[in-house]
Amino acid sequence: MRDEKARAIALLSGGLDSTLAAALTKQLGFGVVGVNFATGFCTGQGRCDTVLAAGRDLNIPVRLLDVSDEYLEVVKRPKFGYGSGMNPCLDCRIFMLKKAKAFMEEEGAEFVVTGEVLGQRPMSQHYRALKLVAEESGLGDRLVRPLSGRLLPATYPEKKGWVKREDWLDIQGRSRRRQLSLARKLGIRSFTQPAGGCCILLEKTYAARLRDAFDHLGPDRMKKEDFALLRLGRHFRISPKAKVIVGRHQTENAELSGFARGRIKLDFPDVPGPTALLEGEVSEEELLFAARIAARYADAPPAEEVRVVAFQDGVARELRVKPLSPDDPRLKKLRIG
């Protein structure tokens, strides 16, 4: 017979599967507390709002926890390697579930619930991977996947007699039809679209920039702001020790200005143009070349010199360069991602 005080911790990503897993667990009579871990690499606008809305729909409390500083080490040195991009899928799951285990113990809960579906993701949700993650996280049979529970080994609630095997579902594979049907039945509306990646590390451009940074700067030297800067602008590797980043629009120009400390900032005082940052060790020739790259995206006649102001450590210096031609093959060759 189930302990009326038994509670579960449900990992909520804002997606449909995790919301359904929490809903099914609550339907079985368990107290459920939702938790969302912010890694700093999540994509999608309003993700936290979606997680909180899911909590309101389910009438469960939700905790939002920032683990971004610790997660950087997972990205830098994944024990089980990367997926199709620079996404450390298995290491990410293990990290999240270790955090969930600690939160479970802190809350006095009995087990952890996730929305994982057998066979849905090729790297992290095949049978052996699900077993590995349970073991490596330290949760073991206290890790419950309600959407595929009938297809997986018995877990703690089942062994305690709190649930029967048929209380779980037997969803597997990549189709979301059963989940969408169940969401309609349960009246669940607050979830992100069940498509695409959950993390910017999966994106081709960001992954290419991160590989380049690891190759030239090294994981040990990368700080939190270096990872954030990879999201912005156009990136050009002009030498093994130097890179220029050129803003694409006004909002991005303002964001890049916030990263100017410790870098050379290039501005265009006479014509509309991008903000550009030059980082690393640069020669005079490389500085002028970086200014020409940035000038290519300014509103200036391509054959005429344009004035560029280079700011470094509070000191301003004027440069005059001709914009690089849009057809210059070096633009494509040097661009990262």
> In angstroms, rounded to a whole number, what is the distance separating the alpha carbons of residues 179 and 295?
51
* Tens-digit pLDDT profile for residues 107-132: 999 999 999 999 998 778 899 999 99
pLDDT of residue 187: 86
pLDDT of residue 191: 79
* Tens-digit pLDDT profile for residues 45-64: 556 678 888 899 899 999 99
Q: How confident is the model at residue 312 (pLDDT cuts 50, 70, 90)?
A: very high
Residue ranges of the chain that CATH labels 3.40.50.620: 7-201
Q: Model pTM greater than 0.95?
A: no
pLDDT of residue 5: 66
User: What integer best gives the mean pLDDT of the chain?
Assistant: 92
CB 259 within 8 A of CB 277: yes
Position 236: which residue type? F
Q: Which strands, in side-by-side order, build the sheet including 315-321?
A: 234-239, 242-246, 276-280, 264-267, 306-312, 315-321
CB 38 within 8 A of CB 64: yes
CB 50 within 8 A of CB 85: no
pLDDT of residue 2: 53
Q: Is the pLDDT of residue 263 over 90?
A: yes
- The average pLDDT across 85-100 equals 94
Q: Is the pLDDT of residue 194 over 60?
A: no
Between β-strands 242-246 and 234-239, what pairing exists: parallel, antiparallel or unpaired?
antiparallel
Q: Is the pLDDT of residue 190 over 60?
A: yes
Between β-strands 111-113 and 62-66, what pairing exists: parallel, antiparallel or unpaired?
unpaired
> In angstroms, rounded to a whole number, what is the distance separating the alpha carbons of residues 35 and 100?
8
For residue 313, the number of C-alpha atoms closer than 13 Å in the C-beta half-sphere is: 0
pLDDT of residue 198: 57
Q: How confident is the model at residue 79 (pLDDT cuts 50, 70, 90)?
A: very high
- H helices of 139-297, in order, are 156-159, 177-186, 204-216, 224-229, 250-257, 284-296
Q: Which of 324, 307, 325, 303 is nearest to 316 (CA)?
A: 307
What CATH number does domain 7-201 carry, 3.40.50.620, 3.40.50.720, 3.40.50.880, 3.40.50.300? 3.40.50.620
Q: Which of 38, 326, 43 is nearest to 195 (CA)?
A: 43
Q: What six digits make up the tokens of 123?
A: 């790297």
